[in-house]
Amino acid sequence: MFFKKTLECIGDLDGNLVDKAKKRLDSLTKPLGSLGELEKLVQQIVGISGQLFPNVHKKTVIIMCADNGVVEEGVSSCPKSVTALVTQNFLKGFTGINVFTKFVNADIVVVDIGVDKDIECDGILNRKIRRGTWNIAKGPAMTREEAVKAIETGIYIVKDLKDKGVELLGTGEMGIGNTTTSSAVSVVLTNSKPEDMVGYGSGLSFQGFKDKIEVVKKAICVNKPNENDVLDVISKVGGFDLAGLVGCFIGASAYRIPIVIDGFISATAALAAVKLEPKVKNFIISSHASAEPGSKKVMEALKLKPMLDLGMRLGEGTGAALAFNIIECALYAYKNMGTFEDANIEQYVEQI
Query: What is the C-alpha to C-alpha distance for residues 111 and 160, in angstroms, rounded to an integer?
Result: 13
Residue 224 confidence (pLDDT)? 98
Task: Concatenate the DSSP letters of all residues of 97-148 into one string.
Answer: HHHHHHHTT-EEEEEEEE-SS----TTEEE--SSSS---TTTS-SS-HHHHH
Residue 117 confidence (pLDDT)? 95
- pLDDT value at 352 more than 70: no
Catalytic residue numbers, as ranges: 316
Compare 345 and 82 and report the one with higher pLDDT. Answer: 82
Cβ contact 44:297 at 8 Å: no
Q: Which of 99-103, 314-318, 328-332 has the lowest mean pLDDT?
A: 314-318
Residue 46 confidence (pLDDT)? 98
pTM score of the predicted model: 0.96
- CB count in 10 Å sphere of residue 166: 22
Residue 294 confidence (pLDDT)? 87
Orientation angle between helical segments 264-276 and 294-302, nearest 10 degrees: 30
Residue 341 confidence (pLDDT)? 74
Cβ contact 324:285 at 8 Å: no
Query: What is the C-alpha to C-alpha distance for residues 96 and 287, in angstroms, rounded to an integer?
Result: 16
Cβ contact 98:90 at 8 Å: yes
Report residue 211's pLDDT band, with 50, 70 and 90 as the boundaries. Answer: confident
- pLDDT value at 345 more than 90: no
Measured CA distances, 312 to 60, 179, 202, 289 (Å): 20, 14, 12, 8
> pLDDT by residue (tens digit) across 240-284?
999 999 999 999 999 999 999 999 999 999 999 999 999 999 999
Residue 343 confidence (pLDDT)? 64
> pLDDT by residue (tens digit) across 150-192?
999 999 999 999 999 999 999 999 999 999 999 999 999 999 9
- Domain at 59-330: CATH architecture: 3-Layer(aba) Sandwich (3.40)
Q: Which of 74-83, 235-244, 341-350 has the lowest mean pLDDT?
A: 341-350
Q: 97: phi > 0 → left, psi -120 to 50 → alpha, else beta; which?
A: alpha
Residue 226 confidence (pLDDT)? 98
- pLDDT value at 106 more than 90: yes
Cβ contact 241:265 at 8 Å: yes
In the chain, the percentage of residues whose pLDDT exceeds 90 is 81
3-state helix, strand, coil in the chain (%, to 5): 50, 10, 40
Residue 351 confidence (pLDDT)? 63
Report residue 147's pLDDT band, with 50, 70 and 90 as the boundaries. Answer: very high
Report residue 344's pLDDT band, with 50, 70 and 90 as the boundaries. Answer: low
Query: What is the C-alpha to C-alpha distance for residues 136 and 313, in angstroms, rounded to an integer?
Result: 23
Report residue 314's pLDDT band, with 50, 70 and 90 as the boundaries. Answer: confident
Residue 348 confidence (pLDDT)? 63
Query: What is the C-alpha to C-alpha distance for residues 226 and 110, in angstroms, rounded to an integer?
Result: 31
Cβ contact 10:252 at 8 Å: no
Mean pLDDT of the residues in the chain: 94
- pLDDT value at 131 more than 80: yes
Measured CA distances, 102 to 53, 97, 109, 299 (Å): 25, 8, 13, 27
- pLDDT value at 342 more than 90: no
In the chain, the percentage of residues whose pLDDT exceeds 70 is 97
Domain layout of the chain by residue ranges: 59-330
- Mean pLDDT, range 91-106, rounded to an integer: 94
Rg of the chain (C-alpha set): 20
- Mean pLDDT, range 128-135, rounded to an integer: 98
As beta bridge partners, residue 174 has 65
**Sheet containing strand 259-260, strands side by side:** 124-126, 107-114, 59-66, 168-174, 259-260, 284-285
- Mean pLDDT, range 9-14, rounded to an integer: 96
